[in-house]
Amino acid sequence: MKRFARCLLAVFSSLGTSCILLVLLGLLTWLGTLEQTRTGLFEVQRKYFESFFLVHRFGSIPIPLPGANLVMCLLAVNLFVGGLVRIRKSWATFGIIVAHVGIAMLLASALVKYEWSEDGHVTLYEGQRADHFESYFRWEIALIRKEDDGKTREWLVPHERIEDAQRSRVRVSMTDVPFELEIESLARNCRPEWAKDAGAHGPIVVDGVRLVSRAVDARAEANIAGACVSVVDERDGIRRRALLWGAEAKPFTFFAAGKPWALSLRKERYEMPFALQLARFTKEDHPGIDMPKSFQSDVKVASAGVERDVKISMNEPLRDGGLVLYQASWGPSNARPGDRLFSTFAVVRNPADQWPLAACLVIAAGLLFHFVRKLVRYVQLEARAA
């Protein structure tokens, strides 16, 4: 047993392992880059860079490979055991150890971002106000009940269950809700159509309309999901069926158990600790050509009754309440002078926001120390030999 442990330690701290793992990571990076020309970034990211295992097709030959997630986990272990614990400690290796610490910080910030961050966007027309931001890719189904005091209560079916619905039916029960929801089918990208000829097969037709699946768009944000959902009420045996579509103008409203309810398929929403209102958006082009020179949004940030004016522009985000808001884009793209414009902010909640910069400085310091020291000794050696 002790021999096995020692062997394991030898494997994980060896330079050979580092080389193999790094080469694998390089291979995955290269394959993922080439694949992007065909598939689109979001899919490639999921398949190659956020997975533990994948099968890459070279023509028709399947090649199994570990995913980048797995490789990076192993590299982290290798870095820790070989690069920090077992490495010989002297001035000669001091710089290397510092650099390795920096890389460990980088890997840690990647982990934190992957597990504990949220990102999305909020789009506002001039004058509009919002207190939540939305995901780019993740959907949720919201069951909304009207409360007596004019507010509403929401139960949210998370993205993961919606993904499950692609393969099987999903039955959701919710506390305080006297019926169940069944998601019968889900399409990742679809458009509504009149069901002129109601075929026996094909997408379910409700109310003379059906949702027709389309090929998943390489630009992930362009995909509009659609679901067929049934409200299953055991007590009155009624099964109310509805189609929900990601770009619908209004939610599906119904009455059940004596109360008004609504169902909506929408992008996942995350609360912001403040309310954001867009006062004005200005875009400047370079004079005489159609190239943007600067974008700037004048916004009002209101929290706890206090309102303040802030400018958000390209390269100058707003940091508040653990969130960072960036000027991402604007529209409509065919707007003419005098038309009302909207501004889109990318919103990110990432505890590890500034860690990479710190990691960079640490790595730079370590490498510089190590190589400058080597260079100086080399130059001295050459001078003596000359």
Which residues 165-184 are close enough to bind other proteins by CB under 8 A? 165, 167-176
With CB under 8 A as the contact rule, the residue among 80, 94, 137, 155 that binds other proteins is 155
With CB under 8 A as the contact rule, the residue among 234, 309, 338, 384 that binds other proteins is 338
Work out the number of other CB atoms within 10 angstroms of the CB of residue 347.
24
CA distances, 143 to each of 100, 156, 246, 253, 262 (Å): 49, 6, 14, 10, 6
Q: Are strands 239-245 and 61-66 parallel, antiparallel or unpaired?
A: unpaired
**DSSP category for residue 333:** T
| Number of residues lying near other proteins (CB under 8 A) | 139
**DSSP category for residue 221:** G
Tell me the DSSP string of 275-286: EEEEEEEEEEEP
With CB under 8 A as the contact rule, the residue among 81, 124, 227, 231 that binds other proteins is 124
Phi, psi dihedrals of residue 383, rounded to the nearest 5°: -65, -40
The answer to the question of residue 268 lying near other proteins (CB under 8 A) is no
The answer to the question of residue 116 lying near other proteins (CB under 8 A) is no
Phi, psi dihedrals of residue 69, rounded to the nearest 5°: -60, -50
The answer to the question of residue 113 lying near other proteins (CB under 8 A) is yes
Nearest-5° Cα angle at 361, 381 to 373: 10
The answer to the question of residue 8 lying near other proteins (CB under 8 A) is yes
Nearest-5° Cα angle at 79, 73 to 82: 130
Residues 240-259 that bind other proteins (CB under 8 A): 242-243, 245, 247-254
Of 54-62, 227-235, 304-312, 355-363: span binding other proteins (CB under 8 A): 355-363
Tokens of 377: 């000794």
Residues 33-62 that bind other proteins (CB under 8 A): 33-34, 36-37, 41, 44-45, 48-49, 52-53
With CB under 8 A as the contact rule, the residue among 286, 308, 311, 377 that binds other proteins is 286
Could you tell me the smallest distance in angstroms from the CB atom of residue 271 to other proteins? Answer: 9
The answer to the question of residue 146 lying near other proteins (CB under 8 A) is yes
Could you tell me the smallest distance in angstroms from the CB atom of residue 145 to other proteins? Answer: 8
The answer to the question of residue 212 lying near other proteins (CB under 8 A) is no
The answer to the question of residue 89 lying near other proteins (CB under 8 A) is no
Tokens of 344: 């889109």
